[in-house]
Amino acid sequence: MLFAVDAHAIGCRLTGNEVYIRNLLTAMADLPGDWQLLAYVSRPEAEDMLPSRLRRARVSPNPFVRLGADLPLRLRRDRPSLLHVQYTAPIACTAPIVVTVHDVSFIEHPEFFPRWRARQLRLTVRRTVARAARVLTGSEFSARAIARHYGSLAPEIAVIPNAASPLFRPVSRETAAAFVRSRFGISSPFLLCVGDLQPRKNQLGLIRAFAALLRLLPDRDLRLVLAGKPTAFASRIHEAVRSSGAAERIHLLGFVSDEELLYLYNACELFVFPSWYEGFGLPLLEAMACGAPVACSNRSALPEVADAAAVFFDPASCEDMVRAMRDILREDELRARLKRLGLQRAAQFSWRRTAERTLAIYHAVCNAEFRPCREDVALAPLRRRP
C-alpha cells in the first residue's frame, strides 16, 4: 500500500506547517508495516531532511503549479492509496484525501490575514474538507471550530495532538547561555517569545508589557528576545520596539533553526507566548520539553495544551501579562514548579504516538469504500472519532 503526502512545506520555512509534516514523516518512517510512504517535496534540501525509508518526488514550489498541474499528474502516475495534505488539496485528485486543518483562524479572525489570503483559504479549505475522507486536527478546540464552520460538509474528525521534537530537551544552562552569547551576542537574562512576526502572535502586546515590566523591576537587567520569521507586519513590530522606551533591550532574531531554538529555550529565564489564537501552540511544548517556565495566553487551544504547566494571562490586558511575568521572575518556588510540571506535560505528547494514530487513519480510509463527492454535496453529519 502506498500513502502519499504533500510535504512541499519542508525546507520552505513555513514554521508550524513545516514542523508538523517533517516530524510526522520522520516518526512514520520508524513504524513497522508492509506499506510505503511517498513525500512530494518542492525544495532540494528537503530530500536531506527526510529518512531514507521514504520515497520522494519533486513538485513545483509555486502553489498554483503544484496544486493545478504537478500533483494531479504525479497522482495519476504514482497511483497512491490516498493523499495527505495540509489545508488544501490539488484541484484534481484521483485518490482519497486526508486533510490536516490545524485551525480555522482565517474564518474566525480574518483580520490577521491579508484580505486575499483569507478569501483564498475560505474557498480552498472548504473545497478540500468537502472532498476529504477524514479531517485531522491537533486539539479539541480546533475540532469544535471545524465542526462549527464545516459541520454539514466535514467527514469524521480525528483529534491527534502534535508533540515537541525529540531534539528539544534540557541541556545545561551554562552551555545554552554560552551558545546564545556566541551566536546572538546576548549575555543578559532574557525572556523569549517564538513565532512569525504577525498580528496573531501579539508581539505588539508583549513589547508594551515588557516595557512596563522593566519599570516595575528597575534592578533587573532583562532582555526580550523575539525569534520568528519576518512578514509584511514586521515594520509595525520594529516601530513598536523603537517607541517602547526599551529598544536597546529588545532583540529581533528573525528565523532561527531548531538547533538554535534548543539553546534559546534552555537559556531563557521565561518563555512567553501571548498569541491571540492557536490551533495547538507547539512552541509551548518545545519550551516545556527544555525545562523553561512558561507564561501564555488564556485563549484558544493554549489552556488545553499547557494544562496546569503554565501561568495564564489575558492577552488583551497589559497588566495581566506583566503580573504573570513578574510573578514567575520573582518566585523561585513557582519557577521550579513550572519547570517540573512543564517537563511532565511535554512528555505526555509524542510524535511516535501521533504517527501511529495517523497511520491508523490512513489504513481505515483505504479499507473503507471511497466515493469522491462534489463540494456542493453535503456529507453525513459530523461524527467524532477518539
Q: What is the pLDDT of residues 344-366, one digit of tens each?
A: 999 999 999 999 999 999 999 99
Give the pLDDT of residue 14: 61
pLDDT band at 16 (very low <50, low <70, confident <90, very high): confident
Cell of 139: 486539539
Give the pLDDT of residue 377: 28
Three-state secondary structure string covering the chain? CEEEEECCCCCCCCCHHHHHHHHHHHHHCCCCCCCEEEEEECCHHHHHHCCCCCEEEECCCCHHHHHHHHHHHHHHHHCCCEEEEECCCCCCCCCCEEEECCCCHHHHCHHHCCHHHHHHHHHHHHHHHHHCCEEEECCHHHHHHHHHHHCCCCCCEEECCCCCCCCCCCCCHHHHHHHHHHHHCCCCCEEEEECCCCHHHCHHHHHHHHHHHHHHCCCCCCEEEEECCCCCCHHHHHHHHHCCCCHHHEEEEECCCHHHHHHHHHHCCEEEECCCCCCCCHHHHHHHHCCCCEEEECCCCHHHHHCCCCEEECCCCHHHHHHHHHHHHHCHHHHHHHHHHHHHHHHCCCHHHHHHHHHHHHHHHHHCCCCCCCCCCCCCCCCEEC
Give residue-wise pLDDT tens across range 248-272: 999 999 999 999 999 999 999 999 9
Give the pLDDT of residue 356: 96
Give the pLDDT of residue 368: 65
Give the pLDDT of residue 12: 78
Average pLDDT, the chain: 92
pTM for the model stands at 0.90
Give residue-wise pLDDT tens across range 310-349: 999 999 999 999 999 999 999 999 999 999 999 999 999 9
Over residues 126-134, mean pLDDT:
95
CA separation for the pair 256, 183 (Å, rounded)? 11
Over residues 228-236, mean pLDDT:
92
> Could you tell me which residue, 123 or 383, shows the higher pLDDT?
123
Percent of the chain whose pLDDT exceeds 70: 95
Predicted confidence (pLDDT) at residue 6 exceeds the cutoff of 80? yes
Predicted confidence (pLDDT) at residue 384 exceeds the cutoff of 50? no
Contact 23, 58 (CB under 8 A): no
Over residues 201-207, mean pLDDT:
97
Give the pLDDT of residue 120: 94
> Could you tell me which residue, 314 or 93, shows the higher pLDDT?
314
pLDDT band at 375 (very low <50, low <70, confident <90, very high): very low
Q: Which domains does the chain have, with CATH numbers?
A: 2-163+351-385 (3.40.50.2000), 173-347 (3.40.50.2000)
Contact 143, 165 (CB under 8 A): no
> Could you tell me which residue, 245 or 152, shows the higher pLDDT?
245
Over residues 184-203, mean pLDDT:
95
